[in-house]
Structure 1
C-alpha cells in the first residue's frame, strides 16, 4: 500500500498549480475521475484576468470584482487575489508559457463583461485553458503518480481523531482501491453536470461537494450558480462555450430580426455582468425567440477565435452569415466547500481549492476570467502552506476499523437525465418559490440517507454518481428556497429585489443541519481549523 504526503483529487488548473509548487520532498498522488485533460480548465477560452495593462491597477480589478459579485465577497481574499494576479502572470511567462502578444510585442489584453478595461491575458486566441493546462502538465515532476479514470467515492475519516487520512476510489470496472495520505485536497470542479444545458465537461457533477458534505464539512452559498449567456445552441442542443471575449471584441446579441437584445437593458449593454445578460437571453428563449451573436464587426474572426470556429464547423453551424446561435447554460458555482485563505476546510486534513471551494472571492456572481486566476492563486497559496508544514517522517496510518458491510440495499434514485432536466427547469436562471417547491418535493421522493451509515464499497459507479448528484441537487434547492431575494446569479422572480438584510447572510449546510449565518469580512475563516 502506497502512502502519500498529498493526495490531490482532480486535474484542473488549481490541482496542477498545486502539484507544480509542492516541495520535491513530498510524495504526491494526482487522481482524477476521467483523463487528466477532461476538465473545465482545459475548456476555458477567455483567459486570465490580471491588472497588468497601462493605466490599470489591482485596485481597479478589485472594484470590478466586488461590483460583479454584488459586494458579497470576503474583501480581504479579493484583495489578495488581484494583488497576486500580475505576479502569477509573470511567473507563468518565466516558466515558458507563451501568451498572445500585440503588434508591439506586448501582452495582448482582451476585454470581457463587467471589466472596466482590457485586462484578459490569453493564449492561442481562444484556447487559453488548453495552453495553460498543457504547460502545467509538461512541467510536473516525473515522480508524481497520476492515476486516471478513478471515481473517488469516499473520504477516509479516522473514527477517533476525525482526521481525513485518505480516499476510496473505484476503477472503470468498479474495483475498489484505497489511498492514504497526510493531506487530501479536493480540486474536482463545480456542478455543471447537474444541469441539462451546461458549458462544463460532462464528468463535472459536484462530486467534491458531496464527498465533503458526507465527511461533515460545511457547505455554503449553493444557490449562487452562474449561467453563462452564450453557449453554442443548434438544433435544440448546446455544443460548447462561446467565450465572452467575442463580445469583448464588439459582437452583439441580437434577435432574428437583427434588433439588439441588450440595448437599454444595462449601461454596459452586451458586456453587462453575466447574470444580467443570461436573464435577458433566458426570457427571450421563454418567448420562443431565437438568439444570435452578431460577429459581423469582427475582422479575421476565424484567426482570432480558432477554437470557436472549429466548434461551429464541427457542429454544422456556418459562419457565412456572421451570426452564431446561442443560449444560456450552467457555467460556474460561486458557493461550495467552506475554506480559509489556504484552502483548509472544517475537517482536519482536508483541503479544497478551485471551483469546488468557496473562497469568498466571487460573491454572488463571478467576474469573467477570475476563475483561472483563482485556481492559480489558491493552488500556490496552499502549496506554500503545505511546504511550510513539510512532514518528512514516514507515513503512519493510525489503526482504524472501516466498515466491512456487504449489504447492498440500493435506494430508489432518479434517472440522471430527468434530474438534469428538472434542475434546469426549476433551479435554473430564473427561480420561483412554487417551482423550487415542486423540485424539492420531487427530490424528497428519493432518500439518499440510507447510505450514510453503510459502507459504499459494494455499490456501482453509476449508483454512487446518482447518489452524489441527488445530494448536491438537494443542497442547491434548499439554499435557493431559503434565499428570499434576487442577488447576483440567484434570480427569484417572486423576490426580484436585493434585500439589505439578506445581503448579510450566508446559507451554510452540513450533516449537522442548515443555518443562516451573518456575514463577516473574515467569514470563510469561521469554524475552520487554522
Structure 2
C-alpha cells in the first residue's frame, strides 16, 4: 500500500459514537478531525442504546443518590470521586442534549419523564419513546456536529495502529482509507472506539466493535484496567440473529415478568428484587434456567400488551421480524455480551498513561463502572467524559516530535474470528471457570501463532487472562469454581509490545 500523511493541527478523534462526537463538539474552537469506519450513526453502540440516560433530573432525586447507586452497583470497585463527577454533571449533559434537539419524553408540565431501571433507588432514566433514546440522541448530535465549522468527519477510515515518537508519546494514528494507509498526525489523539461485543458469538452490539482500539492502545504500552468485567444484558431477543436485538430493561421497569417455558415466574428464587435485580444476577438466572432446559421468556403481555407499537417500537419490530408478537406472546430471551466495564485507563479528563493519548466512552476505563455498570449510565458516561476529554485534548500543545513508522496490525480472517467468538461466549461468558478460561487462552495462543497479534486476539486475551487471574466472583465476573475474596482490587495490565519502528 502507498502511504499518505495528514498533519492535523487540532484534536484527532477515532470513533463517531456519542463519546467521540461529544469530544469533537467540546473541543471548539480547536479544530477536530473525526475518523470513523462506518457512516455516521452506523457501527456504534450509542445509536443502538434503548433504555436512555440516567441522571438526577427530578426534585425527588439528587446527584448524591445517583452516585451512591453507581458505587453500589460496581461491587466495591467504583472510584467514588469519578462517580460523583458523573452524577453531578449528568443533569447538565441531558439538558444539553435536549437543547441540541434530542426529543426526550416529557411530562404534561414539561419536565423530563423518567423511568425506573434495575439497581436505581429513584426513577431517573430519561427516555425517548420507550426504546428510541440512542438513535434520537445520536441524530441530534450528528446534525450538530455536521453543522459545526470546527469539525471535519472522514468516514471509511479503519484504525490500524498508533503512531508514537521516539519517547513513546502518541502522535496520531495509522488508518486504512479506501485501501490506502494514511498517517494522521496530531497534537492530541482521542480513542472513542467502543467496546468488545464483536468478540462474542452472542452480542447486542455492532459486530464491528472488536476491541481494536483497546488492543492497539495496550500494544502501545497504555495501561488497561479491569478487562475481565464484561456485562451481559439479560434479555437479548433470542430469534437467531447476529447481533441479537435487545429487549430493553425498561420493559421490566414497566412490569414485564421473566417466566420459564411452563409460564412460571422464576426471578424471585434468585433475588428479592426479582426482575429489577442487578443485571449480572438476572443474566445468571436466565442462563441457569436455559441450561436446565426450562427456557426463559420475557412476558410483557400484561405490562405493555397492545401499547407495544407506540411505547416500544424497536422491540416490537425486532420481535415481529423473528415471528414473535410480544402483544400476545412471551419474548424468548438469552444473555448477550452488552457492555465492557474494562478499558484503557484514563483520568477524569480522558488522559491515558501514554502522553498525547486520550480515551472516552466504552473503550476507556474511568473507574466509574467498577465490576458492574449501573443501568443507563453508559450513554451518560459517553456524553460527560467524552466532553471532558475533548476539552482537555484541545489544550494540548504540539510537541513537535516526529512519529516513527508504524506497521499495520495484522488482520484476523473471518473463519478465525468466528472461532474466537464461539470460544469467548463458551468460556468467557456469563459463567466461567479455570478449565474453560485455560482452554480459551490455548485457542488464542494457537490463533496468534498462525495470524500474529491481531487486535481482536489481543483484546480477547486481555479479557480471558484477567478472568483466569481473578478466581473470585465479583460483579459481572462470575466463576463457578470461585473462591472468596474479602478485599477485591481492580486489575491493571500493561503490555510491553513494540508496535513501531524507526522511519
State if a TM-score over 0.5 links the two structures: yes
Matching of residues 306-325 of structure 1 within 5 Å:
306-325=313-332
**Distance of 2:205 and 2:444 partners within structure 1:** 23
The runs of 5 or more residues in structure 2 that have no matched partner are 498-503
> Taking structure 1 as reference, are residues 91 and 12 closer, same or farther at Cα in structure 2, changes over 3 Å only?
same
- Matched residue, 1:528: none
The Cα of 1:236 is off from its aligned counterpart by 7.8
The equivalent residue for 2:405 is 402
Pair 1:377-2:378 in alignment: no
- More deviation, 293-302/87-96: 87-96
Partner of 2:446: 445
- Deviation, 1:448, is 6.1
Cα offsets for 1:98-134 (capped at 9, x unmatched): 2111244321101111111210001232110111111
Contact 1:124 / 1:131 at 8 angstroms: preserved in 2? Answer: no
With over 3 angstroms needed to count, the CA separation of the structure-2 counterparts of 1:263 and 1:167, relative to structure 1, is same
Q: TM-score, normalised on structure 1?
A: 0.87
Match of 1:106 in 2: 111
TM-score normalised by length of structure 2: 0.92
Partner of 2:500: none
Deviations 1:467-500 (CA, angstroms, capped at 9, x unpaired): 1111111111110011010000000001164x11
Q: What's the offset of the Cα at 1:220?
A: 1.3
SS of 1:240's equivalent in the other structure is: coil
| Alignment deviations for residues 49-79 of structure 1 (CA, whole Å, 9 cap, x no partner) | 0011231111211121111111211110001
- 2:324 and 2:67 mapped to 1: Cα distance? 38
- Aligned partner of 2:65 in structure 1 is 60
- Distance in 1, matches of 2:413 and 2:324, equals 41
Counterpart Cα distance in 2 of 1:282 and 1:444: 28
CA contact under 8 A between 1:21 and 1:380: conserved in structure 2? yes
- SS of corresponding position for 2:187: strand
1:74-473 counterparts in 2 under 5 A?
A: 74-140=79-145, 141-159=148-166, 161-172=167-178, 174-235=179-240, 239-299=244-304, 300-387=307-394, 389=395, 391=397, 397-402=400-405, 415-447=416-448, 467-473=454-460
What's the secondary structure of 2:482's corresponding residue? Answer: coil
In 2 relative to 1, CA 71–187 (structure 1 residues): closer, same or farther, beyond 3 Å?
Answer: same
Instruction: Give the whole-Å Cα distance in 2 for the aligned partners of 1:481 and 1:60.
Output: 34
Distance in 2 between residues matched to 1:207 and 1:42, nearest whole Å: 19
1:234: how far off?
A: 1.7
1:492 equivalent to 2:479? Answer yes
Q: How far has the Cα of 1:89 moved from its partner?
A: 1.8
Instruction: Say which SS state the counterpart of residue 263 (structure 1) adopts.
Output: helix
Deviations 1:218-239 (A, max 9, x none): 1111110000000010258663
1:70 matched residue in structure 2: 75
Contact 1:448 1:470 in 2 (8 A): no
Deviations 1:447-475 (A, max 9, x none): 369967xxxxxxxxxxxxxx111111111
For the residue of structure 1 that corresponds to 2:188, the secondary structure is strand
Gaps of 5+ in 1: 453-466, 514-530
Equivalent pair of 2:346/2:364 in contact (CA under 8 Å): yes
Q: State the secondary structure of the residue aligned to 1:138.
A: helix
1:268-314 deviation digits (Å, cap 9, x = unpaired): 11010000000011111112232110102224122110111112122
Quick one: distance in 2 between partners of 1:448 and 1:329? 29
Deviating runs (4+, > 6 A) in structure 1?
408-414
CA distance in 2, matches of 1:448, 1:148: 33
TM-aligned CA distance change 1:237 to 1:326, over 3 Å:
farther
Q: How far apart, in 2, do the equivalents of 1:53 and 1:231 lie?
A: 30
Residue in 2 that maps onto 1:518 = none
| Number of residue pairs the alignment of both structures matches | 487
1:445 alignment partner, SS class:
helix
